[in-house]
Structures are given as C-alpha cells and as structure tokens.
Structure 1
Amino acid sequence: MTTQLALSVLDLIPVRTGQTSAQALTASIGLAQRADALGFERYWVAEHHNMAAVASTNPPVLIGILASRTERIRLGSGGVMLPNHSPLIIAEQFALLEAAFPGRIDLGLGRAPGSDPVISALLRSSGAVSEVDAFPRNIGDITALLHPDGASLELTSGRTYELHATPIATSVPEVWLLGSSEYSAHLAAERGMPYVFANHFSGDSTTTALNIYRREFTPSETLAAPRTFLTLNASVADTADEAYALALPQMQQMARLRSGLPLGPLATVEEALATELAPTQAELVKRMSASWVIGDAAGAAAQVRDLAAKFGVDEVMLQPIASAHADADLTVSPARVRTIELLAEQLLAS
C-alpha cells in the first residue's frame, strides 16, 4: 500500500522584475491561501536580508500576517537565524503567535546568518560567544522559555529569577532544528528534536545528515522517535518545457549567487531566455535542472514520490521556484500557484 504523502511549502517571497515588496507579499498571501485550501500541511517563510529578490526578512511578522489570512495550515519559520537575535525575543514572538493561533505555529531555528557579514553585525546581539558555542545554549533557553512552566535564572545574589515568554501559556509552538551540515544533524539527534536538512540547496549531503540524525537520535520529553521531512525545489506546469522555462530564472539566479556575482530581482521568463550565461554558470544550471523537480504533473509527482521513498520521509516541503511571464499580474504568482495545484492533484488526491 502506498503511504500518503503530506505536502508543505517553503516561501522566500520572491521579488521579480518590476514588483514592489507589497506586490510580492500580496502574491505570497495568495499562494499561502491556495496551499491552505488544497490541504497542505505547513507553510514556512525564510529569513534572508538585503537581497533584491527576497522579501522574506522577518519570519515572525510574516507568520502573523499569513496566519491571519489562512484557516488551518501550520505557519512557521524556515527558519529564524538564531545568531541574529536574542533568544528571549524569539521566544516571546513565537509564544504570542502560538497564543493567537494555537496549534498552528512552528519555530524552525537555524545557525546560518542569512546574509553578509555587514548585515549580520547590524542584527546580531549574541556578544562575544561564537555561533557554535552559543547555538545549543540558545536553543535550550528558547525551549525553556516557551514551556508553560517557564525558566529560572540563578542570580549572583543567590535569588531565583523566574522568566516566561508569555505569562500563562496553554500550548507551545513546535520547535524544529534546521541545518545544512552534519553539525545540525548531531545536535538535533542529541536534543531529541525534529530536524530538517536543507536538501533544496545542499542536497549532496542529505543522505549523510539524515543517517546521522536517525542513528544518533535520543528520545526527549517532546519527541519519542526521529521526525524529519524533505525539502525540494519545484517548478511544475502543463508541459515539461514550460516548467523548465519557468524554473530558468531561479536557476540562473542561483548560478550567479554561487559564482559570487551581483544579484538583482528575479528575472521574468522572457529575461531569462534572453540571457547568455558563461560556461561555468551554464554548467551549474544544468546540474540544478537535473536535481530539482521540474516537469509536467505526472513526471514531477513521480519524482517527488521517488525522492520521498529514497530518503524515507512521509512529508515533502516544496519551494515553488517558478517565476512568471513578463505580462503576468504583479500581485499574483500564477506559476507558483500552478506548481502546488498540479502536485496536490497528483499527490493529495483521496
């Protein structure tokens, strides 16, 4: 018997040529509402800073906006880049989101900065402690602060100081550990936390990371067995050729990023088709097109099923990376919506 797959969405709130931030956000609200109606499990937003093609800069604010415009889908961070923030502030933000939308909030925590060193220096408040040393401690602080019992500090005076993210919590967000290295797999296993490896941009190490996580997993108070899902880039259309054309702008953008070239807004399909790439960038695009989910509905769905079986997961989080044609309405993302609709028809049918 075939296991029913759960589908979820990862959204960077892409900003394409000619779009304003407001229009990009409006398009993503529409995408979230469609995912909600289609029966998707969760919808996560990322944290990236000072990037012309990405409007997803502040996950807690975005989660509140999206949760208020949807009905049942879980909203979360994919993820909050913890070195940029005070653990107390993150705990308070997500405790309030959970209070407003009980049972619908995920807190995904990552260790990467999400930007360049200048932006990181402007954001960071973790002091002189290195990221590696501070990250496990800060995760522990957040989970303790989110717990209804709160946390206690022992002051130098000997007095105990009680801390709570919210005064009277009745439920807590689900806390996930995110990562793109073996470090995150070891830490998630040690802490008994649900874990997601960033397969959508670091796929070469996915098998190794998941094997480490599953092999070393230690049950915790909140999780008895390993829990994970797979992230994939996807562009799905009525034909494979159209799906490729819609994916080309994002593949070219990633090729520029990995080549250290300047980045602008996400290109339209027409702009991407007219772009001539250097041989090294063209090779990167070729490699991406072979590993991303790009095709018509039946072919893409088969690829998703095969990858889910290969990595032993029952949930797949799709990043719909399809751009748009130049004449598309700037307040919608028709190709991203079509991607999730076609995969839902194939994979979520009763």
Structure 2
Amino acid sequence: MMKLSVLDLIPVRSRQSTAQALHATTTLAQKADSLGYTRYWVAEHHNMKAVASTNPAVLIGLLASRTQRIKVGSGGVMLPNHSPLVVAEQFALLEAAAPGRIDLGIGRAPGSDPVVTAVLSQSGATSDVNRFPSHVSDIIALLSDEGANVELTSGKEYALRSTPKADSAPPVWLLGSSDYSASLAASFGLPYVFANHFAGTGAERALDLYRTGFRPSAYAEEPVTFMTANAVVAETADEAYAQAVPQLLQMARLRTNKPMGALDTIEEAAAAETDALTQEFMQQSLSGYIIGDPSTAAAKARALAAQHDVDELMISPVAGAHDADPLDSVPARERTLELLARELLEH
C-alpha cells in the first residue's frame, strides 16, 4: 500500500491574516492525521507575503500538540540559517514532548533572498554553507545520548549535549533537489527526500546517485527515500485545474521576477492579466503536478511512485481558495487530501 504524507508552506491568500492561515493549517494537519497520512512537514521560507511557514520548530510544536498519531517534521530546517546546537536543542525537546513523532529534515539552501540572509547573519547564528556536511554530523552527534565532545584550545575536551537525558532522537533526513544533496545523504547513510515539488526535473538522476552510493549506517541499513509533488484534486478535472491556477501563477511570477504578493484567490487568478512568458511557465509547471479528478490523480500518483520506485509520496496540496471561502480554513486543500486518501489509502 502506498504511503501519503503532506508538505505545507502555510500559504497566505488575499485578505487573510497569519493567524487565519495558521488556523487553516492546524485544521489541515488534523485532517491529514485522521485520514491516515504518514507525516506532516512544514517548510522554512522568510519574508514572503504568501508564505507563513517561517519557523519549523515552532510550527512543529504547535501541530504535534494538536494531532494524535501523524509524524510532524521539517521540510526543512535550512541549516545555513542556524547554529547546529540550537537546531539539535529544539528538536531534542520536540522529540521529548512527542516521542517517535518528530522528523528533522535538513536543507542546504538559505530559503530566502540575499538581504534576508544578511539580516539573519547579524545575530551570528548563521553558518557557512560550505560547512554543511560537518554541521549535519554535529547535529546527529548532539542529538545522541552520548552527545559530542568539543576540543578546546588547551587540548582538553568539553562534553556537549542537546538535552540532559534523551530517551530517543528524531530521525534526520537530508532534503534537496541536486546531485550534491543526494550524494551527501548516501555517504552519511541518511534518509533522503528529493524536492520534486520545486525542482520538477532531476529526480531520476538524484535518486540513482543516492541509491548506488548509499553506505549502510546506524541510521539506515538500506536507502530510505521518497519524493514530493504538488497536488490538486477535485471532483472534476475542470475544478482541479481552476484551483491550481493561483499557485501556478504565483510560481510563474517568482520565476519571471515579477512582483509577488499574497496568493490570489481562484477568482483573482482567473481575472489576472498574463503575458506569454508567464503562460509558458504555468503550462510547463503543470506537467509535474498530480492534478485532476480522483481516479486520474490517483493514477498519476501511482505512476510517479512507480517511476521512481518509492512507496511514499509527500503531497503539497496547493489548491486555491474561492473569494467566498472562510478565511480561517482551506476547503479545497482539505478536499485534495480527502480524495487522494479515498483512492490510495482505503484500498
């Protein structure tokens, strides 16, 4: 049986506040929990008018406390923005509060523009992206019960732990959309996730590099991987395509360097004027979506999983909202999860 999971960027649409977007995401996570989804991960992006997912650790604590069984994690913590010790401390506490339900997904990208990266670095908490491999090792060591030893200039060793006494540690996943991240995950023997929802290409090569280069470790005896995909599922194909337009338009604006605001509603996106380049980007993006009526979308999901030999897909439900929808809920995103679960989790 295929496993389904959820990736949430916590989109903020027109006239919606952060509080309303968070309420909608909490309800969506509870829906995923009740439907039998395996995990619910939140992203890290900064200074974006349409994205409220800025701090994974805070969001994971909130969502874990409002759900019952689903694993909650980061997709991912962008490690260049953080001290490895702080990340290890945060996730050690989350694991202590919800043992066995926390995933620590780590990414190498900053998740922001150069200005935001510079602002984050003012606190001294950010790290050199070139030290990413050693910082991943540091986090793994700090999360363990033994902790890590820091060698002082005097030659003595200083014991360092992320928490006084851990009963368990959250699994560490490496995330990426490049050959680099796949090869690094393989060399560490860590689970790996290909960010197909963002990259759209390169999955086959990255997963092959990961599997062929994998070295068994204490974290995994064999390759452990899945991939992400944008999804919009509705009762009819026409409904699904209409619900996909706000996200398609937003991503086309991003890639063509056009001004970006809060996410359009379905009606606003339908009325928006678009040039030929924007329309081209939107059309190209559609090929990577799981989109359509329930049976069609389920078939696409199965085909994607079979193509890349994975038994789990992490769905980013990107269905837009109507002008008349309540601001504190996301009915079309909930419906996407319901319809996919009915086709893929109940058979």
Please tell me the TM-score bracket, short chain as reference.
Answer: over 0.9
Mapped contact 1:83–1:126 kept (Cα < 8 A): no
Secondary structure of the structure 2 residue equivalent to 1:291: coil
2-side partners of 1:106 and 1:224: how far apart?
18
Counterpart among 85, 91, 94 of residue 91 in structure 2 = 94
1:220 aligns with 2:202: no
Judging changes above 3 Å, is the alpha-carbon distance between structure 1 residues 94 and 128 closer, same or farther for their aligned structure 2 residues? closer
The alpha-carbon deviation at position 154 of structure 1 amounts to: 1.5
Match for residue 131 of structure 1? 129
Deviation of 1:129 after TM superposition, in Å, equals 6.8
What are the residue-to-residue correspondences of 1:244-323 with 2, within 5 Å?
244-323=241-320
Q: Which amino acid aligns with 1:328?
A: D
Distance 1:203 1:328 in 2: 30
In 2, are the aligned partners of 1:30 and 1:332 still within 8 Å (CA)?
Answer: yes
Which one-letter code corresponds to 1:203 in the other structure? G
Deviations 1:315-340 (A, max 9, x none): 00000000110000000000000000
How many angstroms apart in 2 are the aligned matches of 1:8 and 1:128? 30
CA distance, structure 2, for counterparts of residue 111 and residue 128 of structure 1: 12
Aligned partners of 2:284, 2:290: CA distance in 1, in Å?
12
Task: Give the drift of 1:128.
Answer: 9.7
- Alpha-carbon distance in 2 for matches of 1:212, 1:75: 27
How far, CA to CA, are the matches of 1:181 and 1:152 in structure 2? 32
- Determine helix, strand or coil for the equivalent of 2:41: strand
Contact 1:84–1:126 at 8 Å: present in 2 too?
no
| Cα pair 2:83 2:126 within 8 Å, conserved | no
Q: 1:129 to 1:58 in 2, by over 3 A?
A: closer
1:290: how far off? 2.3
RMSD across aligned positions (CA): 1.1
8 Å CA contact retained: 1:11, 1:45: yes
Is contact 2:42-2:53 (8 Å) kept? yes
Aligned match of 2:25: 28
**Amino acid aligned to 1:248:** V
Counterpart of 2:187 in structure 1 is 190
* Structural mapping, 1:67-86, within 5 Å: 67-86=64-83
Paired amino acid for 1:258: R
SS at match of 1:35: helix
Aligned mates of 1:106, 1:128 — CA distance in 2: 22
The one of 313, 318, 327 equivalent to 2:324 is 327
Aligned residues of 1:66 and 1:75 also touching (Cα < 8 A): yes
Give the aligned residue type for 2:118: A
Aligned match of 1:158 in 147, 155, 159?
Answer: 155
SS in 2 for 1:331: coil
> 2:205 matched to 1:208?
yes
Question: Quick check: 1:174 aligned with 2:141?
Answer: no
- One-letter amino acid matched to 2:217: S
2-structure distance, mates of 1:337, 1:130: 39
TM-score norm. by structure 1 comes to 0.97
- The CA distance in 1 between the partners of 2:33 and 2:180, in whole Å, is 33
Partners of 1:230 and 1:130 in 2: how far apart?
27
Q: Does 1:53 align with 2:50?
A: yes
Question: Contact between 2:79 and 2:127, CA under 8 Å: does it hold in 1?
Answer: no
Give SS of 2:220's match: coil
Question: Sequence identity of aligned pairs in percent?
Answer: 60
In 1, the alpha carbon distance for the partners of 2:251 and 2:204 equals 22
TM score, norm. by length of structure 2: 0.98
**Aligned-residue offset at 1:130:** 3.9
**Distance change (3 Å), C-alpha of 1:128 and 1:51:** closer
1:122 is displaced (CA, Å) by: 1.5
Once residues 164 and 272 of structure 2 are traced to their aligned partners in structure 1, the CA distance between those partners, rounded to angstroms, is 55
How far apart are residue 287 of structure 1 and its match?
1.1
Structure 2: distance between partners of 1:168 and 1:123: 31
1:31-46 to structure 2, matched below 5 A, reads 31-46=28-43
- In 1, Cα distance between the equivalents of 2:147 and 2:127? 24
